[in-house]
Structure 1
Amino acid sequence: MELSFKHQLGLVCVILLFPALCYCQEYTKSRATFYSTSDGYGTPTGACGFGEYGRKMNWYGGRVAGVSGLWRNGAGCGTCYQVRCLVPELCDTNGAYLVATDQGYGDRTDFVMSPRAFLKLGRNEYSSEELKKYGTVDIEYKRVPCTYTGNVLFHIKETSTNPGYFALVILNVNGIHDVTAVELYQMGQWKSLNRNSGAVFDFPNPPSGEIRLRFRVSGMSDWVDPMIVIPSNWQPGNTYATKVQLK
């Protein structure tokens, strides 16, 4: 059966637009508040385990937040959201784009935002200062694709020891993906790392040589091969850039 030009054109449009449609999501009503820091950035002690990196989260410029229901036992770490407040005379129509880096609770809130993130809710500096007087504001939010710069990163946690104990966080995960599992190759087989807390995965007694990893993210059926190995002389605090960039 032949399709008319009109139907063919419609089919092409659906195919081209389908990836974008996958990101569509309705806004959810909730509430948000903020915490204080000396410079307006996030805190390096966030429960996700991102450390100093979690204060700014790449180009997000410190627009970070602690989340409650969105925490999901740490799977929500590093996920990105658009948050818009609902005070028409004060709130910007685009609101704030931010990253979940911590677990935080307020008065029936889903977001406890860094000062820099909360100030983005207002139309201008005056509006933002007025919103701060509310303390807690009504909002609507939705999850959006993360747009970090650069490839996926493996950061070796400072609590690691070589040899003896290996812990890492995976950073710069673009798109709408949760890191759901990490595996390490040892003695001819893949072995699972344990989600220790937040975004931290660990493995006791890792191999003494190079460390080969792979990880799985939601929305993708196959394991992600980073196309690098962690060198045998790795040290706590080291960060290694993979050769993959997710979308």
Structure 2
Amino acid sequence: MASIVRFCNSFLLTWILIVTVTRILAEAGAGVFRPKPWALAHATFYGDETASATMGMSVWYGNLFMDGYGTDTVALSSTLFNNGFACGTCYQIKCYQSSACHKDAMFTTVTATNLCPPNWAEPSDNGGWCNPPRVHFDMSKPAFMKIADWKAGIVPVAYRRVPCQRNGGLRFVFQGNGYWLLAYAMNVGGGGDIGSMWVKGSGTGWISMSHNWGASYQAFATLGGQALSFKLTLYTTRQTVIAWNVAPSSWCVGLTYSSNVNFR
């Protein structure tokens, strides 16, 4: 009997070790987002000191102040925008080798919330700053003013993509109707870029949502009257989190629902 007990205990410890190692390897495979190397580009700005021109736009975050992004935002040229999958990514940007640079400013950190569309009527070195394949940052004016004199208009910059540091959990804004749910994922930490999203009603299995645009995903399903959970996978790192019971069965479109989980 004692030998059987020892065998069972040994088997149990081995099984626990295998499960632990497997989980660690899985997390390593879908790793935590790390800062990327510095690279060179240019930056301009749009709007005024209030950053009111940054509200809404192509990512459909809505009011960036209410959504927690404030004025530290940037529109990406299409080379970086990645058909909207780059929405929510974060960058450190510093002015580089220009007389307009603020000497005491190391860098500023911004979130990508908009697309800077190409201007094919202008050459890429004189007005068409966001024309592909050019890498360009069109910053909100308050963000630009943190690194350079706004009168310069355009400055060379060094940039790198960094993890997004967020307070609190993922947030979801609902739009749609009884047969179509459109959800905007906001306050996304880690890599910041949602690559896949699923929704689960309290009476359904997981339903794959299709990418609508920017940070929004949609499901053509009847989900009214059900509590909703969401599963999200980041585009870059392939990390996945599940936000259980984000919205109660009485959820309504037009409201924001918060979870207690986020990416790191």
In the alignment, what sits opposite 1:43? 54
2:76 to 67, 70, 76: 67
Q: TM-score, normalised by structure 2?
A: 0.73
Kept in 1: contact 2:91–2:110 (CA 8 A) = yes
Q: How many Å separate the matches in 1 of 2:93 and 2:44? A: 12
Aligned length: 216
Kept in 2: contact 1:66–1:102 (CA 8 A) = yes
In the alignment, what sits opposite 2:144? 118
**Whose strand proportion is higher, 1 or 2?**
2
In the alignment, what sits opposite 2:216? 200
For residues 37 and 27 of structure 1, do their structure 2 counterparts lie closer, same or farther at Cα, with a shift above 3 Å needed? Answer: same
Q: How many Å separate the matches in 2 of 1:208 and 1:103? A: 33
What is the CA distance between 1:172 and its match in structure 2? 1.2
Q: Alignment partner of 1:184: what SS?
A: strand
Amino acid paired to 1:165 = W
Is there any run of 5+ residues in structure 2 with no aligned partner, and where?
1-27, 118-127
For residues 118 and 139 of structure 1, do their structure 2 counterparts lie closer, same or farther at Cα, with a shift above 3 Å needed? Answer: same
Question: Which protein shows a greater Rg?
Answer: 2
Kept in 2: contact 1:32–1:109 (CA 8 A) = no
Deviations 1:41-91 (A, max 9, x none): 552222111011x35752x53111110122111111011101111135442
In the alignment, what sits opposite 1:97? 109
In the alignment, what sits opposite 2:159? 141
Q: How many Å separate the matches in 2 of 1:221 and 1:87? A: 36
Amino acid paired to 1:135 = G
Q: What root-mean-square deviation, in Å, do the aligned CA atoms of Structure 1 and Structure 2 show?
A: 2.6
Kept in 2: contact 1:175–1:246 (CA 8 A) = yes
Kept in 1: contact 2:88–2:192 (CA 8 A) = no
Q: How many Å separate the matches in 2 of 1:220 and 1:111? A: 23
Once the two structures are superposed, the pairs formed by residues 5-44 of structure 1 within 5 Å of their partners are 23-37=34-48, 39-41=50-52, 43-44=54-55
What is the CA distance between 1:145 and its match in structure 2? 1.2
Q: Alignment partner of 1:215: what SS?
A: strand
In the alignment, what sits opposite 2:206? 190
Q: How many Å separate the matches in 2 of 1:246 and 1:180? A: 13
Is there any run of 5+ residues in structure 1 with no aligned partner, and where?
1-17, 123-127
For residues 44 and 212 of structure 1, do their structure 2 counterparts lie closer, same or farther at Cα, with a shift above 3 Å needed? Answer: same
Kept in 2: contact 1:56–1:64 (CA 8 A) = no
What is the CA distance between 1:208 and its match in structure 2? 2.7
Identity of aligned residues (%): 27
Q: Extract structure 1 runs of 4+ deviating beyond 6 A.
A: none
2:171 to 142, 149, 153: 153
What is the CA distance between 1:24 and its match in structure 2? 3.9
Q: Alignment partner of 2:151: what SS?
A: helix
Q: How many Å separate the matches in 2 of 1:31 and 1:38? A: 20
Kept in 2: contact 1:79–1:177 (CA 8 A) = yes
Kept in 1: contact 2:198–2:206 (CA 8 A) = yes
Q: How many Å separate the matches in 2 of 1:175 and 1:97? A: 14
Kept in 2: contact 1:44–1:51 (CA 8 A) = yes
Kept in 2: contact 1:56–1:63 (CA 8 A) = no
